[in-house]
Amino acid sequence: MKVSNQKRMAADILKCGVHRVYIDPLYIDEVANAVQKEDVRRLIDDEVISSRPIKGTSRARARIRARQKAKGRRRGHGSRKGSKNVRQPRKRRWMMNIRAQRRTLKTLRKDGVIDRSQYRRYYLKAKGGNYRSVNHMKSQLETDGIEGVQ
pLDDT at 144 over 90: yes
The rounded distance, in Å, linking the Cα atoms of 122 and 99 is 13
Amino acid at 145: G
Residue 116's SS3 state is helix
Q: Give the pLDDT score at 148.
A: 85
What pLDDT does 147 receive?
87
Q: Whole-number mean pLDDT of the chain?
A: 96
> pLDDT by residue (tens digit) across 38-75?
999 999 999 999 999 999 999 999 999 999 999 999 99
Interatomic CA distance for residues 10 and 49, integer angstroms: 8
Q: Flag whether the pTM goes above 0.75.
A: no
Question: Where would I find the H helices in 15-149?
Answer: 28-33, 37-45, 60-71, 84-87, 90-110, 116-127, 134-143
Question: Beta strands 49-51 and 21-23: pairing type?
Answer: antiparallel
Is residue 7 within 8 A of residue 23, CB to CB? The reply is: yes
pLDDT at 29: 94
How many Å apart are CA 126 and CA 106, to the nearest integer?
Answer: 12
Domains and CATH numbers, the chain: 4-51 (1.10.1650.10), 89-143 (1.10.1200.60)
